[in-house]
Amino acid sequence: MVTHPKHLALTKIAFALVITYGSVSGVAHAQDWGQITATEQVMLQPLKSTWEQLPQSQRQQWLGRVNQLKNMTPEQRKNAQARMEEWASLSNQQRSQVNQQLKNDDQNNAKTRAKSWQMFIEQK
């Protein structure tokens, strides 16, 4: 079976959404880019150009992943940030498609997300 390059790219980006659909705790309010900490800006740098267009809920979810990004190895973080760059480069319509794809996935439970996240961070 041959995988179309566009489908492969969207699949990789779908893994980036695992970040967004993971659990978020302790994030009170998703602020504007200039209001988040320097550490948050470094960890979320690939999203800087699109941050202001993200809905508050997605900002909260990304901010909720900062500690996880900080605790990654440099190689894992580099891979995760590369996926974030791909996500940021998508049009709103493409993002909606990927979001809908994940929402429709009945098997996207916590165990599946954890496995998907592990696969995502190990990609090169």
Q: What is the Cα–Cα distance from 50 to 54, expressed in whole angstroms? A: 7
What percentage of the chain exceeds 90 in pLDDT? 36
Q: What is the mean pLDDT of residues 50-55?
A: 90
Q: What is the Cα–Cα distance from 59 to 34, expressed in whole angstroms? A: 13
- Per-residue pLDDT tens over the stretch 101-116: 777 665 567 677 667 6
Looking at 1-124, list the stretches that DSSP marks H as alpha helix, in order from N- to C-terminal side: 5-21, 38-43, 56-63, 66-70, 74-89, 92-103, 110-122
- Per-residue pLDDT tens over the stretch 4-27: 555 545 555 555 554 444 444 444
Please tell me which residue, 77 or 103, carries the higher pLDDT value.
77
What percentage of the chain exceeds 70 in pLDDT? 60
Q: How far is CA 44 from the centre of its chain?
A: 10
**pLDDT-derived band at 2, boundaries 50, 70, 90:** very low
Give 56's DSSP letter. Answer: H
Q: What is the Cα–Cα distance from 19 to 16, expressed in whole angstroms? A: 6
